[in-house]
């Protein structure tokens, strides 16, 4: 009887359907008068596409918008950092460096909720508008799977040199270019 209970317990433990996600961010160096690019992130969420073959499966991140059923909030920790310090192999762990448990499945997209962004140059500091940052977040396609009892490492690369655009009047705009590194 005791052996049967132990075998049943071991089988139950081995049948879990969760994996985990760990998210980090890095940046490429920026040349010129830019000294700092300070972001305040207040939410990180991923989209689990669910089982597209079932009638109740999710339709994808685009169809779900910002708040549809497929979104999983990994954290709502407020984190402020200077992106320009994250280059030459330096990464910053997001979500307090926690590995967040999620159901196994296909992750199509990650979104970073950006509360604010500031640019510091040789001539001063400027607040930057982040398109969709506070509403639906900066969107990055991931298209990777979370496997059972494994951790999906999502390494984001914010390409500041392509994201910052100086206007004719000297002001800057932010058009975020983000990639997922292998």
- For 116-152, how does the pLDDT look when each residue is reduced to its tens digit (9 = 90+)? 999 998 889 999 988 777 778 889 999 999 999 999 9
Residues above pLDDT 70, as percent of the chain:
80
Q: Which range is least confidently modeled, 47-56, 103-112, 151-160?
A: 47-56
| Position 7 in a domain | no
pLDDT number for residue 62: 62
Question: Which pLDDT band holds residue 168 (cuts at 50, 70, 90)?
Answer: confident
Most confident of 25-39, 53-67, 81-95: 81-95
Residues above pLDDT 90, as percent of the chain:
52
| Position 6 in a domain | no
| Position 9 in a domain | no
pLDDT number for residue 6: 32
The DSSP code sequence of 88-129 is TT--EESGGG--EEEESEEEEEEEEEEEEEEEEETTEEEE--
| Position 61 in a domain | yes
pLDDT number for residue 63: 61
pLDDT number for residue 61: 63
| Position 28 in a domain | yes
| Position 99 in a domain | yes
Q: Which domain holds residue 147?
A: 17-181
Report the half-sphere exposure of 9 (CA within 13 A, side-chain side). Answer: 6
Rounded to a whole number of angstroms, the CA Rg of the chain reads 20
Answer whether 43's CB lies under 8 Å from 76's CB: yes
What average pLDDT does the structure give for the chain?
82
- Dihedral angle computed from the Cα positions of residues 165, 137, 90 and 92, in that order, rounded to the nearest 10 degrees: 150
Structural domains in the chain (count): 1
| Position 4 in a domain | no
Note the pTM of the prediction, 2 decimals. Answer: 0.79
pLDDT number for residue 141: 92
- The yes-or-no verdict on residue 4 having pLDDT over 60 is no
Question: Which pLDDT band holds residue 2 (cuts at 50, 70, 90)?
Answer: very low
| Position 97 in a domain | yes
Answer whether 25's CB lies under 8 Å from 91's CB: yes
């Amino acid at each position: 009887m005791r052996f049967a209970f132990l075998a049943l317990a071991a089988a139950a433990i081995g049948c879990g359907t969760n994996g985990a996600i760990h998210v980090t961010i890095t940046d490429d160096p920026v040349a010129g008068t830019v000294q700092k690019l300070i972001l305040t992130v207040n939410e990180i969420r991923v989209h689990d596409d669910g089982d597209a073959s079932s009638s109740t499966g999710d339709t994808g991140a685009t169809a779900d918008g910002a708040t549809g059923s497929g979104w999983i909030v990994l954290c709502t920790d407020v984190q402020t950092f200077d992106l320009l310090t994250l280059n030459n192999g330096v990464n910053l762990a997001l979500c307090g460096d926690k590995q967040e448990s999620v159901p196994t499945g296909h992750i199509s997209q990650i979104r970073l909720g950006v509360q604010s962004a500031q640019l510091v140059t040789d001539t001063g500091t400027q607040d930057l508008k982040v398109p969709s940052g506070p509403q639906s977040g900066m969107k990055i396609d991931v298209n990777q799977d979370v496997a059972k009892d494994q951790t999906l490492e999502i390494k984001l690369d914010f390409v500041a040199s392509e994201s910052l655009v100086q206007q004719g009047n000297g002001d800057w705009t932010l058009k975020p270019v983000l990639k997922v590194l292998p």
